[in-house]
Chains A and B, each alone.
Chain A
Amino acid sequence: MTMRRLYILFLISLLTIAVRAQQATGLNGLIHVPTADMDTVGLARIGAQFLPHEMVPDKFTLDGEKYNTASNYLSITPFRWIEIGYGYTLMKFHKNLNPKRQTGFYAKDRYFSAKIQFIQEDQWWPSLAVGGNDVWGTGDSGESKSNYYRNYFVAASKHIDYNGHLFGGHVAYRDWYRDYNHRWNGVVGGFTYQPSFYQPLRAIVEWDGNGVNCGVDCRLYRYFLLQCGLFEGKAFTCGLCFCIQLL
């Protein structure tokens, strides 16, 4: 009996904080597609994600070849209606920019992300949000001329509970700033499914404008969120996120 209670308590603890997914940017979303879902107020995330070279902008090249990399991020939901995040993607260079020296991750591309939800989901209406990644920076006028991840989106999300099974539909219109990212432009979206017997687990299928990605994420031991997926059906990506409830 005691074990059963402990098990129930454990399940309840897993469900206490609503964290639905992570993106490489740290904001709530699917795998490569933003959603209008928001984290609970006061939730901070610190995480990292492995990014296959198919998933990063074409600017991430060394000696003419794209490379696999990783992102790190720190994000927070200070109020119910806004998420902000800071992240960076590791960049590979020759040490001290000397082509004769070894290669390694000696630099990073930094970016800020933000999402504002101006309509909250209710029984009938979906939630609606606008946001962007790499929203602040010097851009073409600066020294780095980066903004590799700059994009803006408007997104809508709706969830339906059917006998404890939670189905989610997400659609967004996304506009990328750089030409080499235009393959991800346009209408994107996906479906999610959280089974009634274990709602911290979520299955994802999404269209990111260029291909179909699928994966799962799962909240583990209250503080961790693990996500694994296949990008365009062939490239493996995964991430781990540490979640802290500050309120």
Chain B
Amino acid sequence: MVLLCLLTLMPGKGRAQEAGQVELFCGAELSYADINYLRLYDVLINMTPSVKWHLGKDWQVAGQVFLPLINDGYPERNDMIRLNMANISKELHFDEAKQHFKMTAGLFGMERYGADLRWMYPINSWLMVHARLGLVNHWALGFDLHDNTESEFDTGHWSKFGVAGASVWLNPWATEFRVSGGRYMNGDNGLEGEIIRHFNHCSVSIFAQIHERYQSTGGSNNKSGGFRVVMMIPPYKKSHEKVVFRPATNFRLTYNAQSDGYSMKKYNTDPEENERTLPMRLPWGTGNFNE
């Protein structure tokens, strides 16, 4: 937060949305798990009414509430209407040096709060390196933190998060290769590779993961893989109205073959965060798409 306050003194170009614009939108979050012989899938669907307030000069305030819609098999605590995200962010763009930063502080997704810094360096039109650092703690309103067995709720300790990687963009095929690795949530160290085929308004990827903290999950696999689908939802073009009501920009689906709900997890800092849209609006890769 101190760093964010200092950033108010720095000039910003304001490349994102128009200053003062408020976006109100709603999407849906689907979680599913195949872990027992009681039903085909445990299913959890939340509606996600959200807000983004663009303050100008690349400042943004974001918030998101979870409205549980369907809970078949997930713990009862997920039935609660709750605040999932409330944070403030600032982007910094040093275009001549090709250095781009985004700082976020507040409540993130995945029941974490803290500070997050992202860095993106598009070296050329096909190669970009990026990194992300975070310092986070648990935050879950009204949950029984101590008796919960699904995660390591420990409000007494701040945990470090750091992931770095590179992306290669093959323009003729609208295909992207990503490699990233580092320290994820829950103290899990891992490495991930992903191939993403970007279509007009949809991205489909396959990924492979290797991580080390498999003992704590009770499973025997520290390797996993799966696929992701990110469907963009119309209208695809940004509105210039002062107040915008719209659906969420995207719907995501992830299939992870060996997912334990615990390994190689990343928190979100944006209510519409996804693997297709870059965290910052840069003219690189999918950033050139008119979405």
Contact = CB atoms under 8 A, between A and B. Distances in A.
Contact of B38 (A106, A108, A138): A106
B227 A86 contact: yes
B225 A136 contact: yes
A65 interface: no
Interface stretch (A92-100, A207-215, A221-229): A92-100
A246 B37 contact: no
B220 A96 contact: no
Interface in A106-163: 106-108, 110, 136, 138, 143
A246 B36 CA distance: 34
Contact of B200 (A76, A90, A106, A246): A246
Contacts of B225: 136
B37 A95 contact: yes
Contacts of A79: 173, 197
B177 interface: no
Contact of B37 (A74, A97, A136): A97
B211 to A, nearest CB: 17
A238 interface: no
A78 B175 CA distance: 10
A143 B220 contact: yes
Nearest to B196: A78
Contacts of A96: 36-38
B37 A106 contact: yes
A246 B40 contact: no
B239 to A, nearest CB: 24
Nearest to B257: A110
Contacts of B201: 246
Contacts of A172: none
Contacts of B221: 138
B202 interface: yes
Contact of A86 (B36, B37, B255): B255
- SS class of chain A's interface: helix, strand, loop or mixed? strand
A90 B34 CA distance: 12
Given A84-B206, A86-B227, A136-B225, A107 B200 contact: no
Contacts of B220: 143
Interface in B1-40: 34, 36-40
Contacts of B204: 44, 76, 78, 246
A247 interface: yes
A169 interface: no
Contact of B199 (A42, A95, A138): A42
A10 interface: no
B199 A247 contact: yes
A47 to B, nearest CB: 15
A204 to B, nearest CB: 29
A105 interface: yes
A90 B37 CA distance: 12
Nearest to A78: B197
A95 B201 CA distance: 41
Interface in B240-291: 255, 257
A84 B202 CA distance: 16
B199 A246 contact: yes
Interface string B196-235: 0101111010100000000000001100010101000000
A186 to B, nearest CB: 31
B188 to A, nearest CB: 21
A95 B38 contact: yes
A75 B220 CA distance: 28
Q: Tell me which of A78, A90, A105, A138 has the highest count of chain B C-beta atoms within 10 A of its own C-beta.
A: A78
Interface string B170-205: 000101000000000000000000000101111010
B200 A247 contact: yes
A44 to B, nearest CB: 7
Nearest to A84: B206
A84 B220 CA distance: 27
A106 B39 contact: yes
Contact of B34 (A78, A84, A108): A108
A105 B40 contact: yes
List 8 tightest A-B contacts by C-beta distance, closest first. Answer: A246-B199, A78-B197, A106-B37, A246-B202, A97-B37, A96-B37, A93-B37, A42-B199
Given A94-B37, A107-B37, A107-B40, 10 more contacts: A44-B204, A76-B204, A78-B175, A78-B197, A78-B204, A93-B37, A95-B37, A95-B38, A106-B36, A106-B40
15 contacts: A42-B199, A44-B202, A74-B229, A78-B197, A78-B204, A86-B255, A94-B37, A96-B36, A108-B34, A110-B257, A136-B225, A143-B220, A246-B200, A246-B201, A247-B200
